[in-house]
Amino acid sequence: MAIAVGSRSRFSRNLRAWGGAGLFMLPALALYAVFVLFPIVQAARFSLFDWNGLKALDHFVGPANFGRAQADPVFLGAVGHNLFIVVMSLAIQIPFALGLALLLNRNFRGRAILRLIFFAPYVIAEVITAIVWSLILQPNGLADHFLTTFGLEGAYSPWLADRGTVLIALFFIITWKYFGFHMILLLAGLQNIPREVEDAAAIDGASRWQAIRYVTLPLLGPTLRVSVFLSIIGSIQLFDLVWVTTRGGPVNASNTMAVYMFDRGFVRFQFGFGSAVAVILFLLCFVLALAYQRWVMRRDLEGATTYG
C-alpha cells in the first residue's frame, strides 16, 4: 500500500512537472517540429526520388541518388575542400585565436579597443564580407595597390581566379572573419581561470610557458573543445562566403558540399539529388556532433546529457 501510494504521488509529481514544462515548451516544440523535423523528413523522402521539383513525385529511385553523389568526382572534390578548411582551421585559425586571447588577457592600455577591433569582422554579415573581399582581391583592387605601394610589385595575382590558390584565399577570408569570434570565446574561458592558480604555478617556479602549457591550457580545455567543435561544424557547412565570392569556381576548385547541394538543387533543379546531398551533409554533421559530444566533450557536459 505504502509503496503504491508513494509511487503514485511520485508519478503525479512527475506528471505535474512534465505538464508544466510541456506547456511552456509546446510553442517551441511545435515550431521545431514544423520548421526543423518536418523539413528533415521531407528531404529524406525527396532524396529517394528522381524529381525536378515540378512534376509529380512518382519516379522512385531508392538509394540511387546517394550512389550518384558518392561516384561524382565533383562531390568528392567538395568533400575534400571541406576537409581542407577543417584541418586548416584547427591547425592555424584556433591556435592564432588562442595566442591573441592569451595576449589580450593581460592588463594593458587599449586592450578593450583591440578586442573590439579583432571581434569586428565577426559582426559583419557573411555576404558583405564576401563582397568586400572580392573587391579587395580583384585585379586593380586594394590588395593589388597596397602591395605595389609597398614595393612588392608582381606579388599580387588574382588569387580567387586561380584554381591553385582559390581555397587558400578563401581560408584567409574565413580566418579573417572568424578568428575574433574564437578569440572572444577563449578570452571568456581564460577569465574564468582563477588568477591564484597561475600565481601558485609561478611561485612553484614554473616559467611563463610552463604555466600556460601545464596550468592554463588544461583549465581552458572545455572552452577550447567548444571552439574546436564550432569550427569543425562551421567549416563543414561553409556556404555563403564561397557562393558569393567564387560560386564554387573556377571549375569546382572551391566547391564545398553545401555549395554543391545548392547548385544541384536550386540552380539545376535536381531537387531529388540535391536532397540526397543535403541528407548526407546532415548525417555527417549529426554523427560528428553526437560523437564529439559523447567522447570529447563528455566531461564538460556532465549532468547535461544522459548516457544509455
CB of 225 to another protein, least distance (A): 30
Length of the chain: 308
Residue 186 · residue 179 · CB < 8 Å: no
Distance of CA 244 to the CA centre of its chain: 18
- φ, ψ of residue 45 to 5 degrees: the values are -70, -50
> What gap in Å lies between CA 278 and CA 73, rounded to an integer?
17
- x/- string (CB under 8 A) for another protein, residues 45-84? -------xxxxx-----------x----------------
Nearest to another protein of 137, 297 (CB atom): 137
Q: Does 116 bind another protein (CB under 8 A)?
A: yes
Q: Which helix (H) or strand (E) holds 9?
A: helix 2-32
Number of chain residues interacting with another protein (CB under 8 A): 41
Nearest to another protein of 82, 245 (CB atom): 245
Nearest to another protein of 79, 160 (CB atom): 160
Nearest to another protein of 236, 262 (CB atom): 262
- x/- string (CB under 8 A) for another protein, residues 10-49? ----------------------------------------
- x/- string (CB under 8 A) for another protein, residues 245-264? xxx-xxxx----------x-
**Which is it for the CA torsion 212, 216, 218, 221, positive or negative?**
negative
Figure out which of the listed residues 128, 168, 188, 287 binds another protein, where binding follows CB under 8 A.
128
**Distances from the Cα of 224 to the Cαs of 60, 139, 209, 229, 245, in angstroms?**
45, 38, 18, 8, 30
CA 239-86-264 angle, to 5 degrees, is 30
Q: Does 142 bind another protein (CB under 8 A)?
A: no
CB of 107 to another protein, least distance (A): 16
CB of 166 to another protein, least distance (A): 8
> What gap in Å lies between CA 173 and CA 230, rounded to an integer?
17
Question: Mapping DSSP to helix (H, G, I), strand (E, B) and coil, where does residue 96 land?
Answer: helix
